[in-house]
Amino acid sequence: MKLGAKNRLFMGSEAAEQTNAIWYTLIESCRRRRLDPWKYLVWVFEELPKAKVTAETFSSHTPKAYAKSLSKPRLKKTA
């Protein structure tokens, strides 16, 4: 595949659109709570492999749950 060529396999597919929507939602949810999205994602990818998958697993790894788990100050809101 040449540089700059479009990936026709995933371009405009419904699965790709849903995946993008999930990522944007997670990042914006972090921003609304004045959390650093990068730190949240690092935390999630470190914690999920250790977690036993139950009905509560994903609800305990949301940006809201992450914010509650922090004892240090969050990012300051800018402009």
Q: What is the pLDDT of residue 1?
A: 43
Q: What is the pLDDT of residue 44?
A: 92
Residue 11 clears pLDDT 90, i.e. is over it: no
Please check whether residue 24 lies inside any domain of the structure. yes
Residue 69 clears pLDDT 50, i.e. is over it: yes
Q: How many residues does the chain have?
A: 79
Please check whether residue 9 lies inside any domain of the structure. no
Are 75 and 34 in contact by the 8 Å Cβ rule? The answer is yes
Please check whether residue 62 lies inside any domain of the structure. yes
How many domains are contained in the chain? 1
Please check whether residue 52 lies inside any domain of the structure. yes
Residue 32 clears pLDDT 50, i.e. is over it: yes
Q: Which of 13, 15, 22 is nearest to 41 (CA)?
A: 22
Please check whether residue 53 lies inside any domain of the structure. yes
Please check whether residue 74 lies inside any domain of the structure. no
Its domain, for residue 46, covers 14-69
Please check whether residue 49 lies inside any domain of the structure. yes
Please check whether residue 64 lies inside any domain of the structure. yes
30 token code pair: 């972090």
For the chain, percent of residues with pLDDT exceeding 90? 33
Its pTM stands at 0.66
Q: What is the pLDDT of residue 57?
A: 85
